[in-house]
Amino acid sequence: MKLINPFFKKKKNVLISEVFKILGKKYNKKDYIIENIADLKTAKAKDITFFNSLKYLEFLKKTKSKNIITSKKYENITRKYSNPIIVENVLKSVAVITNLYYPNALDDAVDFSLNPPDKKKYPKVKFGKNVLLGKNVKIGSNSIIGHNSVIESNVIIGKNSVIGNNVIIKYSLIGKNVRILDASILGKKGFGFFPDKKNNFRYPHIGMVVIYDNVEIGCSNTIDRGSLSNTTIGQNTYIDNQVHIAHNVNIGKNCIITAQVGFAGSA
């Protein structure tokens, strides 16, 4: 499965001086473009990333990024591998910069492009009643979509998959031979925000949910999409009913997860 994110389009390239300005800092050196924001593992040389915990030290050592947002605590460690940009609150700074690149990432409450499926477009897919599809949805042959289910724009579902009744799928790539049982929700934004006395500051989530082949997801599961990276469920994993999988969680192959389990973000 190709992990190309079709859901969030970057608004523009951003100058390093713009990054410093939005962080409340001055920049007096030669200006240049920062192409994107990404995590340590996937960041490229012209991207900006962040480091806020020693548990990510191995990723720091290998990152290609030349600019890393970090705290004073980790300045000396970060300087060994890249250029540190020192801030008081690393995660809040990352959220502000992410919003600069992807200003529409939080506007995901309703997909107003939804319509009943054009059955001529999906001749080998069986649809229940009251199904709604967004734009550019791809569904593999011999799949079944249950009653009252909603599949939002750009979602991809592999062949021989079964989507139950009252399921909502957004911002997700789904492999073949996958079963998603009744009333599950995939791809909503994660529970990521910064508390404030007046208004809580919500964190943009520009990752996806990626479900690999031969996975079964039980009834009333909720799987949040990733923030900068993806939430992933490995091949041949089976998940029981009423399980919550938070943003950036990575579950491997051949796992068995029983009912009423919750995984905290980035587990």
What's the CATH number where 227 sits? 2.160.10.10
- pLDDT of amino acid 40: 95
Residue 221: give the domain boundaries. Answer: 126-263
pLDDT band at 103 (very low <50, low <70, confident <90, very high): confident
CATH label of the domain that carries residue 61: 3.40.1390.10
Do 207 and 144 belong together in one domain? yes
Do 142 and 94 belong together in one domain? no
Which of 85, 101, 117 is a domain's end point?
A: 101
Do 174 and 259 belong together in one domain? yes
5: Cβ–Cβ under 8 A, 6 or more apart, which residues?
A: 206, 207, 208
Q: Is residue 154 part of a domain?
A: yes
Do 72 and 130 belong together in one domain? no
- pLDDT of amino acid 109: 82
Do 217 and 180 belong together in one domain? yes
User: Rounded distance, CA 61 to CA 81, Å?
Assistant: 6
- pLDDT of amino acid 193: 84
b/e 138-162 (16+ beta carbons within 10 angstroms → b): ebbeebbbbebbbbbbbbbbbbbbb
Q: Looking at the predicted structure, is the pLDDT value of residue 221 above 90? A: yes
H or E, element range at 180: strand 179-180
Q: How many domains does the chain have?
A: 2
Q: Is residue 192 part of a domain?
A: yes
Do 163 and 91 belong together in one domain? no
Give SS3 for 161. Answer: coil
Do 86 and 184 belong together in one domain? no
Q: Average of pLDDT values for 2-27?
A: 89
User: Vertex 28, ends 23 and 34: CA angle to 5°?
Assistant: 55
205 as an active site residue: the answer is no
Instruction: Give me the catalytic one of 147, 205, 244, 247.
Output: 247
